């Protein structure tokens, strides 16, 4: 997430009421999660296990809960609670904006697009040309939709990321300030949920078709011309490359990559990154031919035991 203008390190430290290490005029351009940071971004870290990863990342400002040596060319924001202060920044730069009409005045809707009754189009949403938005669709603030997109009834674009920190008295949510981006010629079925990024984009690539009741987690990126069947659950920060086929009731873990033209058979649990151009099945996931051979051999076990007796 980029800020509307460039801020100084001192300005951000004053906003958070925290110490800083570095030039007070050090430029701050935005904030992001560690897997998508760029120079000028703030990244937060609150566990020693991940200090080095954050300090050596592309981010040039690190919001951290301990005074450490500052890498050359970077700056630090010292906070007693980086998670809380990252939320403070999100609320400041991307505050929740109340809506009191079905289609916000700031929404931009292209020529030929049809929006059926009872749908909600939030603030600063952009929808391209010749789209069809069926009834009872909710499109949250800042969502971007391309041309020739079809979205069926009951689908929700832009709900919050499922991202929490455990506290002694319960769970604190990491506030989502990112977007959902739907490219041209995408089809989305009924009752799907696509969560926005925490600070970046959740993206569905051009020509991809998604069946009913599919969930896509925050910051996941789905490539072009993919097919995703019903009741599939895609976790956060997953990369699905182009022309992948995912059949029904597949579930994935977070932070993995599914290679180009992979085929994942129904009810598979994708527990790790997988190469493209192959077919997969089972939990834990394996190439489908190998997995089916194993299942065939398991069926022979009663016969083998009977012979041994």
Here the tokens at position 277 are: 């151009």
Can you give the three-state secondary structure of 73-123, one letter per residue?
A: CCEEEECCCHHHHHHHHHHHHCCCCCCCCCECCCCEECCCCEECCCCEECC
Residues 134, 142, 152, 218: which is the catalytic one?
Answer: 218
- For residue 92, indicate whether it is catalytic: no
How far is it, in rounded angstroms, from Cα 93 to Cα 11? 13
Q: Is 52 helix (H, G, I), strand (E, B) or coil?
A: helix
Note the helical H segments in the chain: 9-16, 51-55, 82-93, 288-299, 301-308
Cβ neighbours around 48 below 10 Å, total: 11
CA torsion sign for 185, 120, 213, 171 is positive
**Closest by CA position to 262, among listed 287, 279, 249:** 279
Q: Compute the distance between CA of residue 197 and CA of residue 157 in angstroms, rounded to an integer.
A: 11
Structure tokens given for 144: 């971007």
Contact 37, 30 (CB under 8 A): no
**How large is the angle between the packed helices 301-308 and 288-299, nearest 10 degrees?**
40
Tokens of 119: 């749908």
Backbone angles phi, psi at 60, to 5 degrees: -105, -5
Cα distance between residue 236 and residue 243, in whole Å: 20
Cβ neighbors of 85 (< 8 A, separation 6 or more) are: 16, 18, 44, 63, 77, 79
Residues labelled as active-site residues: 218
């Amino acid at each position: 997430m980029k800020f509307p203008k460039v801020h100084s390190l001192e300005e951000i430290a004053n906003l958070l009421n925290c110490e800083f290490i570095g030039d007070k005029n050090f430029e701050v351009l935005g904030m992001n999660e560690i897997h998508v940071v760029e120079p000028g971004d703030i990244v937060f870290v609150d566990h020693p296990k991940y200090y080095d990863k954050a300090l050596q990342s592309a981010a040039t400002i690190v919001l951290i809960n301990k005074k450490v040596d500052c890498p050359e060319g970077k700056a630090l924001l010292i906070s007693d609670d980086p998670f809380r202060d990252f939320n403070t920044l999100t609320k400041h730069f991307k505050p929740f904006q109340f809506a009191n009409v079905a289609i916000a005045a700031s929404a931009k809707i292209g020529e030929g697009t049809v929006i059926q009754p009872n749908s909600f189009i939030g603030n600063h949403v952009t929808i391209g040309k010749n789209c069809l938005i069926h009834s009872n669709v909710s499109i949250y603030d800042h969502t971007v939709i391309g041309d020739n997109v079809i979205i069926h009834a009951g689908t929700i674009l832009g709900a919050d990321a499922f991202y929490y920190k455990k506290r002694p008295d319960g769970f604190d949510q990491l506030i989502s300030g990112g977007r959902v981006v739907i490219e041209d010629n995408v089809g989305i079925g009924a009752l799907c949920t696509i969560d926005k990024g925490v600070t970046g984009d959740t993206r569905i690539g051009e020509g991809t078709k998604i069946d009913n009741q599919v969930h896509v987690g925050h910051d996941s990126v789905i490539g072009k011309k993919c097919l995703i069947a019903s009741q599939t659950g895609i976790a956060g920060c997953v990369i699905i490359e182009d022309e992948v086929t995912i059949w029904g009731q597949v579930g994935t873990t977070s932070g993995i990559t599914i290679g180009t033209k992979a085929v994942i058979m129904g009810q598979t649990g994708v527990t790790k990154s997988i190469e493209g151009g192959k077919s997969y099945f089972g939990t834990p996931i394996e190439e489908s031919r190998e997995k089916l051979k194993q299942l065939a051999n398991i069926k022979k076990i009663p016969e083998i035991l009977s012979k041994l007796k």
